[in-house]
Amino acid sequence: MQANAGQRFLIVNADDYGYFESVSTGIIEGAKAGCITATGIMANSPHFDACMERLQEAPGLDLGVHLNLTCGAPLSGAMADRLQFNNGVFPGKFTVINSLLAQRIRTADVIAEWRAQILRCINRGVRISFLNSHEHMHMLPGLFTATNRLARDFDIPHVRFSTPEWRGKTGISGIVRNTLMQIVSLANRGAAADRARLPLLGMNQSGKLDIAYMNRALAALEPGKPHELMCHPGRFDPSEISDPGLRAYHHWEAELSMLMSPAFNDRCRELGVRLVGYRELDGEERSDAGR
């Protein structure tokens, strides 16, 4: 990846591909517009097959696996057996964490499940560039080590290293989240010693990115060093997405509109920010690179 003097690099990585069909439609739309450069696939999605077909519309989009442990049905028999207490489907993240602590769910079960999710993508011909996870579950001590082991097993070059972000306003919930993320990121530093850790943006305004945040974040990018923006753009279909918690947390349409806006594009040009994908970090070029 060649850098001009002062040039900045940003991977725009959309989480939750496959979570909902409407969200996935928006991610493809943003990828075709050149403002989304990567997305993580939720391999246990009930919409998996349809969403995989749609990826053909965006050949320049880098793909990873958005490892899931907190929603939907598992792919592995071992995990399905462990989840009989919850009718065979994943419970919320706090129940999962408690189940891991109580050994109701074992680390080996998680590894088997995540291996199945990775293999489902590989079997559909996906070239996997990275791993991350839904609700940052891969950052739990023990699971982060397992995630890096899976990455080595499948020759996946990048694993998201989630870190707290204190930029901007931080309420009580944000302070709690950032404090917990600080603890787990410090605990996991040794496990990630053999991998480059991309600085992560978007944590402090997850689900609600806006142009004011991006103006500050883009100006703070270190020249010559790639950064990753975690984002959640998409289209919103109220007939498909009924959960009030999700609807309050995520501003899918607003994030997509911001990323596709002239204001965001102009700010990137003004600051010398080039939107790139993971393959460019590895010495390749995207077919739609150049925004």
Please state, as a whole number, how many other Cβ atoms lie within 10 Å of the Cβ of residue 122.
15
Q: How confident is the model at residue 179 (pLDDT cuts 50, 70, 90)?
A: confident
**Residue 227 counted as domain residue:** yes
Q: What is the pLDDT of residue 26?
A: 98
Residue pair 206/170 in contact by the 8 Å Cβ criterion: no
**Residue 1 counted as domain residue:** no
Q: What is the pLDDT of residue 291?
A: 44
The CATH number given to whatever domain includes residue 227 is 3.20.20.370
Residue 46 confidence (pLDDT) above 70 = yes
**Residue 2 counted as domain residue:** no
Q: What is the mean pLDDT of the chain?
A: 92
Give the residue, 102 or 192, on which the prediction is more confident: 102
Cα–Cα distance, 232 to 43 (Å, whole number): 17
pLDDT single digits (tens) 122-170: 999 999 999 999 999 999 989 999 999 999 999 999 999 998 887 666 6
**Residue 286 counted as domain residue:** no
Q: How confident is the model at residue 204 (pLDDT cuts 50, 70, 90)?
A: confident
> Treating both helix axes as pointing N-terminal to C-terminal, what angle do 262-271 and 252-259 enclose, rounded to 10 degrees?
50
**Residue 266 counted as domain residue:** yes
Beta bridge partners of 201: 229
In the chain, the number of structural domains is 1
**Residue 256 counted as domain residue:** yes
Residue 184 confidence (pLDDT) above 70 = yes
C-alpha torsion angle, residues 107, 109, 110, 114 (rounded to 10): 140
Cα–Cα distance, 109 to 215 (Å, whole number): 42
Side-chain-facing half-sphere of 198: CA atoms under 13 Å:
25
* 3-state SS class at 75: coil
Lowest mean pLDDT among 149-163, 194-208, 254-268: 194-208
Question: What is the domain range of residue 19?
Answer: 8-281
Q: How confident is the model at residue 178 (pLDDT cuts 50, 70, 90)?
A: confident
pLDDT single digits (tens) 64-90: 999 999 999 999 999 999 999 999 999
- State the DSSP H helix or E strand holding residue 21, giving kind and residue range, or none if neither: helix 21-33
* In the block, residue with structure tokens 């959309």: 14
* In the block, residue with structure tokens 């990826």: 55
**Residue 289 counted as domain residue:** no
- State the DSSP H helix or E strand holding residue 128, giving kind and residue range, or none if neither: strand 128-133
pLDDT single digits (tens) 1-16: 565 667 999 999 999 9
Q: What is the pLDDT of residue 290?
A: 43
* 3-state SS class at 96: helix
**Residue 287 counted as domain residue:** no
